[in-house]
Amino acid sequence: MTHDTIAVIDFGGQYAHLIATKVRRLGVRAEIRQPEDPLESYEGVRGIVISGSPSLSAYGEDSDYNRSIYDLDVPILGFCFGHQEIAKHYGGTVVHGGREWGHAELHLTVDDHPLFRGLGPVEPVWMSHYDSVTALGPDFEELGYTSTGAGGEHRLAAIGSDRLRRYGFQYHPEVDDTVNGERMIANFVFEICGCRATWSMDGVLDEIVEEVRRRVGERSVFLLASGGVDSTVAAAVLGRALGPERVHLLHIDNGLMRKDESRQVLALFERLGLDRHLHFEDASETFLSALDGVIEPERKRRVIGDTFVEVFQRKARELGIEDHLLGQGTIYPDTVETGGTKRADVIKTHHNRVPVIEAMIEQGRVVEPLADLYKVEVRELGERLGIPHEALWRHPFPGPGLGVRLLCSNGVPDRDGLDAMGPGLAEAEARFGLRALPLPIRSVGVKADLRAYEHPVLLVGDAPWATVLEAVGWITAQVPGVNRCVLHLGGDAPTEPRPLAAGVTRARLDLLREADALVMDGLRRHGLYDEVWQCPTVLVPLCLGADGGETVVVRPIRSQRAMTATPVRLPDALVEELLRDVLTLPGVSAVLLDVTSKPPGTIEWE
């Protein structure tokens, strides 16, 4: 059937994709549009949302996009940058200044406006902007305001013109911190745009199956099946669309798998009836050889991705199926974080977006049935396909496997910028009663949708959890060059942290496998596995004390779509067990807990 559709114009911010998925959860189709897209691409849409942007300013001259959208006879709602653009286009004034960051209170000024139907006179909202709307053009009125600063300066936070059907929110209703943001989006979708809720995952499954059949035709598909949620659901979708006889699955043991992973993966696909053409390749030596001497994280990801393709192509030749299409379990965040949109910064390179794969996509040789879905939607799809709960709700595991959880180093301390942190960290220590040590290594983070490859800070001391989180928020916001904080749980008392020379080796991977298995078993034993969305265990070649051992970092987080995440406090009993068990592993001398949200720290360390 034809679904009512809302178009979301993506100016490069990951929040644009939160908008789209929030609309979908309402039962209305949402599609991403690029700022330069022609008017023809909006044919049939019932409304438009203009997203915020991590890099554009409505105040400057760099906000170039197809402004002909304002000639369309459909409602338009702008968030943050979009709010400012709508105000400016219709004769309002935008100034550079008046920053608001974080929580604010929206005071509604118009009674029973359709956008705010069912809401109270004061609503908690979340702000993230520097430019501000200070005056409105003809036809527009203030719908709500915020007060900032000691003097309670009045800020235009919600504006609208019912005659033009143009509206703007300075805040972000798509994030969870705007408590009733989903209701505001729903009011726009249903009250203003008049959409019908006809879009559901049942319908999506039918549409995806039909699209796969159209895309593949009479050919067959060869899928690299890691056993993760995405590749497993992709395999089941392909099996539903094409039949198991036209789906070849290749599971590669790249030496970067978890403990007993390959055995479990092969058993799962047999259980799903997808073992008609199930192939297994132990390529661990090939991968370890390719990774020998590779230290830099992005190069490591690329080597892993390229080696996957080399092994796949070699195996395809051996099986005589080179003409098959390549199937992948790519989901939406993969393409977002790889810079899949014109203005999105590359946060990290995904193994399924290396140049070889990009070339195959250009040649029409790749089929990605899940590329428009988020993780929660992929899981819902898997439920409809009969995939076992334990397989669908296992923690997400990165495509490059333990390769991005095994940090490497040439042993030379990276002290660039550490001295400048001194005053800020000294103030943090005085404020929060925690020792704060900058670490001479780097991990990847994300700030304002841009990659931030910066230093972690080690926190040492006994403080309440709320104090720890407050310290993390203060340090990552106030101290330059910091994107992550880790809490010392036990082991060697930190003296002068120093990196160790270490690369990708089977011995280090085996050590990480054992540490990871202990953490996963502990979460299950304490009934936390389903509560924690993901918990990477990271092996860092960093010596904190005198014995020369490495450091294990545990990163339990809660999330819904991987775009944002919050750290999870582990029970004291579990912490004690992990310290007892992990510290007995040979070569481990300290255990740390990653207490950073995303942003500013990405979920993985590389």
Q: What is the pLDDT of residues 246-270, one digit of tens each?
A: 999 999 999 999 999 999 999 999 9
Q: What are phi and psi of 470, to 5 degrees?
A: -65, -40
Which pLDDT does position 154 carry in this prediction? Answer: 84
Domain boundary among 165, 192, 219: 192
- Pick the range with the lowest mean pLDDT from 7-11, 211-215, 293-297, 416-420: 7-11
**Residue 319, SS3?**
helix
Q: Which residue has the higher pLDDT, 445 or 58?
A: 445
Q: Is residue 518 part of a domain?
A: yes
Which pLDDT does position 398 carry in this prediction? Answer: 85
Q: Is residue 130 part of a domain?
A: yes
153 is catalytic: no
Exposure of 244 in the CB half-sphere (CA atoms within 13 A): 11
Question: How far apart, in whole angstroms, are the C-alpha atoms of residue 179 and residue 125?
Answer: 7
Question: How far apart, in whole angstroms, are the C-alpha atoms of residue 6 and residue 20?
Answer: 8
Tens-place pLDDT, residues 137-150: 999 999 999 987 55
Confidence of residue 152 (pLDDT cuts 50, 70, 90): low
Average pLDDT over residues 114-118: 96
Average pLDDT over residues 232-240: 97
Q: Is the pLDDT of residue 351 over 70?
A: no
- pTM for this entry: 0.74
Q: Is residue 590 part of a domain?
A: yes
Q: Is the pLDDT of residue 60 over 60?
A: no
Q: Is the pLDDT of residue 507 over 60?
A: yes
Provide the token pair at 382: 């898997």
470-480 burial code (b ≥16 CB/10 A, e <16) = ebbebbbeebe
Q: What are phi and psi of 125, to 5 degrees?
A: -135, 170
251 is catalytic: no
Q: Is the pLDDT of residue 120 over 90?
A: yes
Which pLDDT does position 493 carry in this prediction? Answer: 81
The rounded percent of the chain whose pLDDT value lies above 70 is 91
Which pLDDT does position 259 carry in this prediction? Answer: 96
Give the DSSP H or E segment for 65: none
- Pick the range with the lowest mean pLDDT from 346-355, 361-370, 408-417: 346-355
For residues 359 and 463, membership in a common domain is answered with: no
Question: How far apart, in whole angstroms, are the C-alpha atoms of residue 566 and residue 177?
Answer: 12
What CATH number is attached to the domain comprising 476?
3.30.300.10
Q: Is the pLDDT of residue 3 over 60?
A: yes
Question: How far apart, in whole angstroms, are the C-alpha atoms of residue 206 and residue 212?
Answer: 10
- Pick the range with the lowest mean pLDDT from 61-65, 105-109, 526-530, 592-596: 61-65
Single out the catalytic residue among 17, 172, 351, 455. 172
For residues 374 and 426, membership in a common domain is answered with: no
105 is catalytic: no
- Nearest to residue 15, comparing CAs of 248, 183, 247, 173? 173
Q: Is residue 336 part of a domain?
A: yes
Q: Is the pLDDT of residue 76 over 50?
A: yes
For the beta carbon of residue 285, count every other beta carbon within 10 angstroms.
10
Provide the token pair at 146: 């915020």
Q: Is the pLDDT of residue 70 over 50?
A: yes
Place of tokens 């509206």: 167
For residues 107 and 205, membership in a common domain is answered with: no
Domain boundary among 353, 371, 399: 399
The rounded percent of the chain whose pLDDT value lies above 90 is 70
Question: How far apart, in whole angstroms, are the C-alpha atoms of residue 414 and residue 401?
Answer: 25
- Which amino acid belongs to residue 103? H
- Nearest to residue 42, comparing CAs of 63, 24, 65? 65
Q: Is the pLDDT of residue 114 over 90?
A: yes
Which pLDDT does position 354 carry in this prediction? Answer: 60
Which pLDDT does position 1 carry in this prediction? Answer: 63
For residues 29 and 107, membership in a common domain is answered with: yes
Q: Is residue 97 part of a domain?
A: yes
- Pick the range with the lowest mean pLDDT from 54-68, 93-107, 118-132, 428-442: 54-68
- Pick the range with the lowest mean pLDDT from 277-286, 303-312, 400-409, 554-563: 554-563
Q: Is the pLDDT of residue 369 over 70?
A: yes
Per the prediction, the chain carries an average pLDDT of: 89
Domain boundary among 169, 192, 215: 192
Give the DSSP H or E segment for 377: helix 375-384
Which pLDDT does position 13 carry in this prediction? Answer: 58
What CATH number is attached to the domain comprising 185?
3.40.50.880
Alpha carbon distances (Å) from 174 to 22, 49, 325, 332, 567: 7, 11, 37, 17, 20
Question: How far apart, in whole angstroms, are the C-alpha atoms of residue 294 and residue 512?
Answer: 18
Confidence of residue 561 (pLDDT cuts 50, 70, 90): low
For residues 135 and 260, membership in a common domain is answered with: no
For residues 176 and 248, membership in a common domain is answered with: no
For residues 231 and 347, membership in a common domain is answered with: yes
Q: Is residue 53 part of a domain?
A: yes
Q: Is residue 603 part of a domain?
A: no
For residues 188 and 205, membership in a common domain is answered with: no
Strand partners, 459: 436, 487
Q: Is the pLDDT of residue 205 over 50?
A: yes
Q: Is residue 602 part of a domain?
A: no
Question: How far apart, in whole angstroms, are the C-alpha atoms of residue 277 and residue 599?
Answer: 42
Residue 144 domain boundaries: 5-192
Question: How far apart, in whole angstroms, are the C-alpha atoms of residue 427 and residue 495?
Answer: 20
Place of tokens 């051996």: 318
Look at the alpha carbons of 212, 214, 216, 218 in this order and tell me if their dihedral is positive or negative. positive
Tens-place pLDDT, residues 302-350: 999 899 889 988 998 999 888 899 899 988 666 655 544 444 444 444 5
- Cβ–Cβ < 8 Å for 245, 274: no
Q: Is the pLDDT of residue 12 over 80?
A: no
Average pLDDT over residues 170-188: 93
Average pLDDT over residues 201-215: 91
For residues 308 and 416, membership in a common domain is answered with: no
Average pLDDT over residues 68-87: 94
Which pLDDT does position 586 carry in this prediction? Answer: 95
Exposure of 165 in the CB half-sphere (CA atoms within 13 A): 18
Which pLDDT does position 497 carry in this prediction? Answer: 94
- Cβ–Cβ < 8 Å for 546, 529: no
- In this structure, the strands spanning 166-169 and 153-161 are antiparallel
- Cβ–Cβ < 8 Å for 556, 532: yes
Single out the catalytic residue among 3, 80, 251, 455. 80
- Cβ–Cβ < 8 Å for 50, 79: yes
Confidence of residue 52 (pLDDT cuts 50, 70, 90): confident
- Nearest to residue 10, comparing CAs of 334, 449, 570, 492? 449
Tens-place pLDDT, residues 380-414: 999 999 999 989 988 988 889 999 999 999 999 99
Instruction: Provide the residue count of the chain.
Output: 606
Q: How many domains does the chain have?
A: 3
For residues 281 and 427, membership in a common domain is answered with: no
- Pick the range with the lowest mean pLDDT from 69-78, 136-145, 490-499: 490-499
Which pLDDT does position 151 carry in this prediction? Answer: 56
Residue 191 DSSP class: I
For residues 69 and 156, membership in a common domain is answered with: yes
Single out the catalytic residue among 174, 368, 550, 604. 174
Which pLDDT does position 333 carry in this prediction? Answer: 64
Average pLDDT over residues 265-287: 95
For residues 238 and 352, membership in a common domain is answered with: yes
